[in-house]
Structure formats: structure tokens, C-alpha cells
Amino acid sequence: MFDLIECSAFEISATVATLNDFFFPVVLFAVIFWVLCEIFLDVGVETQSFLIDKQFASDGNPTGKDNTQQAGDNLILENLRANMAATIEEHNTKAESFDFDTECQNLKALGARKLRDFCRNRQIKGYASAYNRRGLDGLVDFLSAKQIYAHQIEQFKHVETLAREH
């Protein structure tokens, strides 16, 4: 007589279907995002280092040492951090400038003809305009910007001569 509620064991109401349609993609995205963050980000190490820094910076005495000894330890720790940062920065600047200058010299030593032949055979676009503007220096800068090094050109030349012999 009154069919206000039709129930079936396998029927899903419109409200539940709407909620499923909305929440399923959101939850799926959140789970995939969380898994990718766990794989590619190193959050655990950052959290541990934060806790260690917090432990050393606290006024409390977690190790049981007296305050003068802890102050001396903090001073040693700060000196080590400063020395490590300075050493890393000095090493990076020396390595970058040395490699770049040496590589430019090595490319210039090969000569313009070999560099142009390499670019022509490899079909690298833009080398001719760089050579026409600034000559050998322009071509060397162009190849350095493309991250092409002298040893790659020498390998290519060696392979090319082997191919011609056979």
C-alpha cells in the first residue's frame, strides 16, 4: 500500500553512492600521494635530525652531565658544524671551478675543426651560430652549456675511425 521505503540487500542508496563517488578518489589520491612521499622523500631522517638538534639545544640535561661539561660539548658541536659547512663549501667551489676551467682548456685543445665536425656529425643544432659569433670560445661555451666534454668528443672520434677502418 505505502511504498515509502523499498529495501533490498543489494541496493545502495543515492546518498551512499554520492558519498562513495566523492570520497573514493580523494582517499585514493591521498594514499598514493603518501606512498610516493614515503618512497621519494627522506622525511624520517629529517625528523630524527630535528629531534637531535632539539635535544642538544634544550636547557635540560638529558645525558646526566653537569652544565659546564654540556656547555663545552655544545661549543665543540657548534665548531664542528661550522668547520664542516666551511669545508663542504670550499670543496664544492674548488671542484666546480677546477673542472670547468680544465674542461674548457681541453675543449680548446681539440681545435675548432674537430669540435665543428663533432657537432655536424652528431647533428647538434646551434653550434654554427655560436662559432660565427665568438669563434672557438663561443663554440666551447656552447658545448659546455650542452654538457658535452672533451672525452666524449675523443671517444666519438675513436669510434668513427674504427668504423671507417672496417
HSE on the CB side for 16, CA within 13 Å?
4
pTM of the model: 0.39
Q: Give the domain ranges of the chain.
A: 100-165
The answer to whether residues 158 and 122 touch, using CB atoms and an 8 Å cutoff, is: no
Residue 148 — left, alpha, or beta (φ > 0 → left; ψ -120 to 50 → alpha)?
Answer: beta
- Higher model confidence: residue 137 or residue 55? 137
Residue in this structure with the C-alpha cell 666524449, named with its chain if needed? 152
The answer to whether residues 130 and 138 touch, using CB atoms and an 8 Å cutoff, is: yes
Q: Per-residue pLDDT tens for 113-149?
A: 888 988 888 888 988 998 999 898 998 999 888 888 8
Residue 66 — left, alpha, or beta (φ > 0 → left; ψ -120 to 50 → alpha)?
Answer: beta
